[in-house]
Amino acid sequence: GENVEQHPSTLSVQEGDSAVIKCTYSDSASNYFPWYKQELGKRPQLIIDIRSNVGEKKDQRIAVTLNKTAKHFSLHITETQPEDSAVYFCAASEDTGNQFYFGTGTSLTVIP
């Protein structure tokens, strides 16, 4: 089965700086890679996703890049703000059943 690894487990940045979170996956059949943000006590919410036929996708301050050859994908947050502080989870999906394999999460703290 699929195995997703996520790094780092914790990340602290100064407000205005960039943050990068990286994930690797093992199954080359995986074709969909969503990122979720979970604030304390709240549900995980989708913030961006990327499909295997695309190398990069951007939405305002958030971008995701995918390298299928190396089997890794990354989340980039620019001009970080205190409200970006949360736990971020990556995931990979490989079949039409849409079962997700989650990374272990990154706790991001943006220091004002």
Partner 1 sequence: GAGVSQSPRYKVAKRGQDVALRCDPISGHVSLFWYQQALGQGPVEFLTYFQNEAQLDKSGLPSDRFFAERPEGSVSTLKIQRTQQEDSAVYLCASSSWTGEQPQHFGDGTRLSIL
Tell me: does residue 105 bind partner 1 (CB under 8 A).
yes
Tell me: does residue 46 bind partner 1 (CB under 8 A).
yes
Nearer residue to partner 1 within complex by CB, 32 or 78: 32
Which distant-in-sequence residues (6+ apart) come within 8 Å of 93 by Cβ?
A: 30, 31, 32, 33, 34, 99, 100, 101
Q: Is the dihedral of CA 78, 22, 85, 39 positive or negative?
A: positive
Tell me: does residue 34 bind partner 1 (CB under 8 A).
yes
Rounded distance between C-alpha atoms, residue 106 and residue 112, angstroms? 19
* Of the residues 75, 93, 108, 110, which one makes contact with partner 1 according to CB under 8 A: 93
Helix (H, G, I), strand (E, B) or coil at 83: helix
Tell me: does residue 38 bind partner 1 (CB under 8 A).
yes
Nearer residue to partner 1 within complex by CB, 43 or 69: 43
Point out which residues bind partner 1 (CB under 8 A).
Answer: 31-32, 34, 36, 38, 40, 42-46, 49, 51, 87, 89, 93, 95-105, 107
